[in-house]
Amino acid sequence: MTNAWRPAAFLAALASAATAAPTIEYLPAGFLVTDLSYDGSVMVGNVQGDGSYETFRWTAESGIERLGRATVPAIGVGAGSPDVSYDGRRVSASILSMDNLMTQGVWDVESGWTETMPPSPPTGIVSDQSYGSAWGLSGDGSTLTGFFWRSTPGGNAHPNTWSPTTGIVPLESVPGVSARANAANYDGSVVVGWEDNLGPWQPTVWRNGVKTRLVQSLARGEARAVNADGSIIVGAAYNPAFATTHATIWRLEGDEYTTTYIGALVGTVPNSGSAWLESISDTGSIAVGFNQYTFSPGGSTDGVIWTPENGLVKDVDFLAGLGLSVTPGADIRSFTAVSPNGAVIAGALLLPDLYFQTFIIRLNPCPADLDGDGEVGFGDLNILLGNFNTVGAGLPGDLNGDGRVDFADLNALLGIYNTACG
């Protein structure tokens, strides 16, 4: 169900983007990263060490900044997953509303938090001290994704997007069942998530608001992440050939997505264990997630890395192939995010004292080395200038990930011009 790990193949592919040696570093224990900016220079997540689940933002310059408005200390309820825009300036999360309920929020470096509710949409209600929760943010920072509680018998989750110009936009879903919008592509035109459809959760995509079932899964499945242009979606779905929920990739071909079951690690128990992909780079060159060997609470879990060259690979095998390892005695539980440019990976460790800790792998510590020759020089400048004043996600030369190549990127490159990488 998984390929043998061939580090030489991966390192050869890595060398085409950079020659600097991969590195590993750690955040303080208790801070878990859930998302990365375009180049991994900004990280966001939850503070789990003190039980607050407060949203935080990290940069090398400022370190960890706690963003406030945590719900758990105030009302004992928490949900959602913090996300960050490509340029690192906007963060989405579930936050405490001004009337002391949980709501969706977007934080900006200049203006702080903006809450999406109250008021709820016309069909919305308050359930479990919550208007709803936030689960994703588009790369350009314009569109939050998540769900609000709606007024059907017993209440259920209605998937939604939100932007400053549109407000809450309910997405198409089956009446009377729950669904959630987990993530959005760069401009928010493609949203992915799940819908339970009176049975197992089903991987679902909304393209320009139109809902499509990605595959009919006989056990719980989800679409967890999507790349910048919406052409690649990752998550998990039940593979009947192996009676197991497998890590899954969907690729857009024409107007439809095709399903590819990636598999699960050896030792995963059929109809009990599962493998999930949580994040993917914009080019589709690397995806990350976790493998749960059984459904039993407290069962063993490992992080997984997928690449086209090697398929699905176990955490320690991947690190060993890079010449890296984690703190002795620590247990890697998952890889939680990969930066859209594919250069930085965040993972979660369980420490011997049962605290969690984030570790960061930098596959390319020199993102300005656009031609991969080991230094920032004339070749890199030519690539950037060839895309100068152009707009689009994932452009070579867009060093800050704001969707355009401009003077900010040129200044960043010139600031380290004629320097070697590594």
pTM confidence score: 0.86
Question: How far is 173 from 149, CA to CA, in rounded Å?
Answer: 13
Answer whether residue 55 is part of any domain.
Answer: yes
Question: For the domain that residue 189 is a member of, what is the CATH number?
Answer: 2.120.10.30
Answer whether residue 208 is part of any domain.
Answer: yes
Question: How far is 181 from 175, CA to CA, in rounded Å?
Answer: 16
Do 215 and 86 share a domain, yes or no? yes
pLDDT digits (tens, 9 = 90+) for 263-302: 999 999 999 999 999 999 998 999 999 999 998 776 799 9
Answer whether residue 1 is part of any domain.
Answer: no
Answer whether residue 2 is part of any domain.
Answer: no
Higher-confidence residue of 350 and 370: namely 350
Answer whether residue 383 is part of any domain.
Answer: yes
Do 166 and 265 share a domain, yes or no? yes
Do 414 and 273 share a domain, yes or no? no
| Mean pLDDT within 376-396 | 87
Do 172 and 307 share a domain, yes or no? yes
DSSP 68-110: ---SHHHHS------EE-TTSSEEEEEEE-TTSSEEEEEEETT
Q: At what angle do helices 407-414 and 378-386 cross, to 10 degrees?
A: 180
> With 80 as the cut, is the pLDDT of residue 313 above it?
yes
Give how many domains the chain has, as a whole number. 2
Q: What pLDDT shows up at residue 299?
A: 76
Q: Which residue in 360, 386, 391 sits closest to 371, CA to CA?
A: 386
Provide the pLDDT confidence category of residue 422 given band limits of 50, 70 and 90.
low
Provide the pLDDT confidence category of residue 369 given band limits of 50, 70 and 90.
confident
Q: Is 413 helix (H, G, I), strand (E, B) or coil?
A: helix
Q: What pLDDT shows up at residue 41?
A: 92
> With 70 as the cut, is the pLDDT of residue 362 above it?
yes
Provide the pLDDT confidence category of residue 18 given band limits of 50, 70 and 90.
very low
- Answer with the one of 322, 346, 365 that is the final residue of a domain: 365
On the CB side of 260, how many CA atoms lie within 13 Å of its CA? 14
Question: For the domain that residue 415 is a member of, what is the CATH number?
Answer: 1.10.1330.10
Percentage above 90 pLDDT, the chain:
75
Do 351 and 377 share a domain, yes or no? no
H or E, element range at 386: helix 378-386
Do 286 and 260 share a domain, yes or no? yes
- Answer with the one of 365, 390, 412 that is the final residue of a domain: 365
Quote the domain boundaries for residue 379.
Answer: 367-422
Q: What pLDDT shows up at residue 168?
A: 97
362 φ/ψ angles, rounded to the nearest 5 degrees? -105, 105
Higher-confidence residue of 175 and 178: namely 178
Q: What is the largest CA-CA distance in the chain?
A: 65
Answer whether residue 239 is part of any domain.
Answer: yes
Q: Which residues pair with 311 in a beta bridge?
A: 307
Do 357 and 379 share a domain, yes or no? no
Do 303 and 387 share a domain, yes or no? no
Q: What secondary structure letter does DSSP report for 120?
A: P
Q: What secondary structure letter does DSSP report for 26?
A: E
Do 317 and 413 share a domain, yes or no? no
Q: Is 62 helix (H, G, I), strand (E, B) or coil?
A: coil
Do 231 and 273 share a domain, yes or no? yes
Answer whether residue 251 is part of any domain.
Answer: yes
Answer whether residue 275 is part of any domain.
Answer: yes
Is the alpha carbon torsion for 176, 179, 185, 188 positive or negative? positive
H or E, element range at 277: strand 274-280
Do 19 and 154 share a domain, yes or no? yes
Q: Are 415 and 409 in contact (CB under 8 A)?
A: no
pLDDT digits (tens, 9 = 90+) for 189-215: 999 999 997 789 999 999 999 999 999
Do 359 and 399 share a domain, yes or no? no
Q: Picking from 60-74, 155-169, 394-408, which range would have the lowest pLDDT averaged per residue?
A: 394-408
H or E, element range at 383: helix 378-386
Q: Which residues pair with 106 in a beta bridge?
A: 92, 114
